[in-house]
Structures are given as C-alpha cells and as structure tokens.
Amino acid sequence: MNSLNYFLNYSKVIGEIPTPAIIWSEEKIINNIRLYKLALENQEIEIRYAVKACALKLVLETVRAEGCGVDCQSVMEAELSLKAGIDFQKITLNSPRLREEEISWAIQNKIKVICDSKNQIEIIDKLVSKLQFPKDWRYGVRVSLPIEETKRFHSKLGMDTSEILFGLEKVNPKTLSLLDEIHHHGAARETNSCLLSKVTKELGKLANLIENKFSVRFQKINLGSGLDSQDIIKEAGNDLQLILHECCSHLKEQIDTKNRIIVFEPGRAIVQNSAIGLTKVISKKRIWGKDIIVVDISTNVLIPSPLEKFCVWHPNFNKSKTENLSEFVVVDGTCSPTGVIVESVKLPTINEGDMLWIGLSGAYTWSLAQSFYDYIPSAWWLDKQGVIKQIVDRENNKKMAFYINGFENDMI
Ligand SMILES: Cc1ncc(COP(=O)(O)O)c(C=O)c1O
C-alpha cells in the first residue's frame, strides 16, 4: 500500500500532532523486512539493517525482534545497536574511516569488521598476532567492481581487484583463515534488476578468484542491497521479490550458493516508506515566477537528492481530483539554499497554516537531523496495535543543541 494512503487511516490522530514531526510505523517496518525474507525462502539469507538510515531505538528494537542483524558505519552505531539488544554476532562494522582503535574495539566486542581498504586488512593482520582473539571472530572484505554504472562508488568505497589481491597476499595464514565474507555495495536507489544482475555476476567472479588463489571460503556473500523502497520500486513498474530472485540466480551462475549465506543490507528499503513527515505552511511567496511554500520542517536531509525522494501531499486533498492544481516549490525555512524539499509539486490552493504530509520520510532524515538544532522534528511511533506515541520530544532536541555547542551548564 502506498505509504501516504496507509497513514490516512490514522489521519484523525495525526492531525493533532504538533508540527514539525515524523511518524514511523512499526507495521510498515515489519512488512518491509518480511518482503526480503519471503522473497528468498529457499536460500539461506541474512538481513542486516543499515543503521545509518535511522537509529531510533524503536526501529532497532523492531529490527531485532524480526531476527535481523545490523550493519554499522561507526562504533557509535554499533553501541546503539548493542543497547537496543542486538546480539554482537549479528553486528558488522564497515567504513572507510575505521582506525586501529575502532577495529580493536570491534574485535574485543566480538563484532565482525568488513575491511574497506588494504590498510584495514593490515591492521587486522597486526592485531591477529597481538590480541587475544575471540574464537569465532571473523572478518570480511568490501570490494569495488569494474562496472560503469557503479563508478560513483569508486570515489571511496571498497578495494579494487589489484588492491585486494595485494592486501591478502601479504597477510599471515592465520589472518587468511579468518576471512569469511565478501561484500559489495553498488546498487543504491536501484529499482530494477539490470544493475544488480551485473553486480552479482562480477561479485561472484571475484569471489571465485579470491577463493581459488588463497584457498579461503566465503561463507557469506554480501550483496549490500541499497535498493529503493517497495513503493518506489512499484512506481517504477517492478517488484522487489522479482529483483531479489533475479540477482540471486545471476550469483548462482558464477558461484555455488549452497551452504552459503547471502547477506542483504537494506537501509532505506526498510525505513524510507515507513514514515511520514508532518509540517505546516509558514508562508507563501513568489520568486521569479515560481510559487514557493515555506514549511516548518527541516533537517539537513529533507533535501531530495542524492539521498531521498520526497512526495509532498495535502492530507485533505483528494488525489483523483486534478483540477485547480498549481505547481509549487516546497522549501524549508533555513537560510541554506539547499533546503528544497520538492522542486515541483502540484497542489491545490494552499493557505498559511495548512498541514502538509511528506511521504518517504523514514530514511536518513532522523540520522542527519541533529545538526539543524532549532528545526529538529519530534519523533513519533505508530505501533502495530495502531497506538501513536511520542518517542523524542523537541525539548530534548533543544537541550542537545545547547549541550553539543558547549553550553552544558546553561541547559534548560
Ligand atoms: C555498507 C553499506 N551497507 C548498506 C547500506 C545501505 O544503503 P541503503 O540505505 O541505500 O539501503 C550502505 C549505504 O551506504 C552501506 O554503505
């Protein structure tokens, strides 16, 4: 179900919530996770939710209750996940910026590291001979593939073939024996299987090459995911289950997937369509022929590109009625010229004080909101029984703004 329509069932209560706010739905998150699980019933899969998309406690607890693990890009995200009760065995740490102390922290906490560079492999090699290693600790490698369409990731993610071969050639046999996962992240915001199929083929080929050259075995093949949410995939005329099926069959053409686990790390696909933003129109103005609506919600990432796509909607407006619509640009009230929420959206007559809903607001909004002090929305949770409660209050955000700017003694 389209996410805005889904929230319409609760429009009476939602209408009472002070703006700006974002409401996440537990049911939508669970459904999104189950779409992944159901798609590949005959293949052992592991779902690791990418915490960077949204680290709210209730989101992480829902992910845990569904039996998923998490992928973290920082020690802080891993600590939040541990606090949410996620088992250390289900957590991975993967980031180009991991330093020795963070890798060492991960090892001591029995958390798997996915190495993003030769330098991180060298650190692990060094620590293997120094540290008391947990018996079951393993690590993985993140690769960068020679695919034209994923060139944008060549700026910093993973290792190319020569780098990884060179890195692994130098490590001692004990370190090699701890390698059990190969990872590639290259399909962010994909809505069809074309690119994913190329990625899985290339990844399978490279996994084969490394296994043969170093006599290792990848127990886990990590396709990273990064697909868009089901709403957007459907809008593009595709289906998440078909995409996942296709990419797994392409992987099987290159490497035997029996007795291996295929890992997916969806972030936005789990939370993006599970939330709506609520905002009020502060003012309207016209600049060089464009009708501008200034609203009261703002985070650094209520900005559509490259992380998000938003759809703005007037909750009292019947979508099937297309007459009397005008085109608007919806912007936040900050002084940053980048705070454009939607470049062009058709809406009915809008008045100051009207409430607008922003669909697809669940991913990356909250994670990156923190530095827009005065504009942080409150966060709300619609549980699976249909009860809505506030989970983060704007007053707490205000306290945090004082605190992180060094005003801890003046906190109100
Ligand atoms: C290692 C890793 N896994 C998973 C993801 C999830 O991405 P998305 O939110 O696009 O699903 C990312 C995103 O950058 C990533 O770097």
CA of 158 to the centre of ligand 1 (A): 13
CA of 72 to the centre of ligand 1 (A): 9
pLDDT in the model for residue 160: 94
Structural contact between residues 280 and 17, judged by C-beta atoms closer than 8 angstroms: no
* Domain at 40-265: CATH code: 3.20.20.10
pLDDT in the model for residue 302: 58
pLDDT in the model for residue 87: 97
Which H or E run includes 5?
A: helix 3-8
Burial grade of 46 (CB within 10 A; 0-12, 13-18, 19 or more):
middle
pLDDT digit string, tens, across residues 87-110 = 999 999 999 999 999 999 999 999
CA of 362 to the centre of ligand 1 (A): 15
- Higher per-residue pLDDT: 316 or 396: 396
- Higher per-residue pLDDT: 271 or 227: 271
Q: Nearest C-alpha to atom 15 of ligand 1 is from which residue?
A: 185
Count of CB atoms situated within 10 Å of the CB of 331: 23
Q: What would the mean pLDDT of 75-94 be, rounded to a whole number?
A: 97
Whole-number average pLDDT of the chain: 88
- Of ligand 1's atoms, which has the minimum distance to the CA of residue 227? 11
* Cα–Cα dist 373/256, whole Å: 50
pLDDT digit string, tens, across residues 299-313 = 665 555 554 566 778
* Cα–Cα dist 354/62, whole Å: 33
CA of 201 to the centre of ligand 1 (A): 19
pLDDT in the model for residue 1: 47
Q: What would the mean pLDDT of 338-349 be, rounded to a whole number?
A: 85
pLDDT in the model for residue 372: 63
pLDDT digit string, tens, across residues 374-403 = 678 899 999 999 999 999 988 887 787 788
Q: Which CATH superfamily is domain 272-410 in?
A: Lyase, Ornithine Decarboxylase; Chain A, domain 1 (2.40.37.10)
Give CA angle at 375 (18, 380), nearest 5°: 45
Structural contact between residues 223 and 203, judged by C-beta atoms closer than 8 angstroms: yes
Chain region(s) in the chain for CATH 3.20.20.10 = 40-265
Q: Which two tokens stand for residue 319?
A: 């979508």
Of the pLDDT bands very low, low, confident and very high (cuts 50, 70, 90), residue 194 is: confident
pLDDT digit string, tens, across residues 124-173 = 999 998 877 888 999 999 999 988 888 878 888 899 999 999 999 999 99
- Of ligand 1's atoms, which has the minimum distance to the CA of residue 266? 11
pLDDT digit string, tens, across residues 210-250 = 999 999 999 999 998 778 888 888 888 888 888 888 888 88
Q: What would the mean pLDDT of 344-352 be, rounded to a whole number?
A: 88
Which H or E run includes 54?
A: none
Spatial CA neighbour of 81 closest among 99, 103, 62: 62
Percent of the chain with pLDDT over 90: 56
Q: Which two tokens stand for residue 196?
A: 């994913």
Judge whether residue 5 has pLDDT over 90.
no
- Of ligand 1's atoms, which has the minimum distance to the CA of residue 114? 1
Most confidently predicted of 111-125, 146-160, 322-336, 357-371: 111-125
* Cα–Cα dist 341/262, whole Å: 36
Chain region(s) in the chain for CATH 2.40.37.10 = 272-410
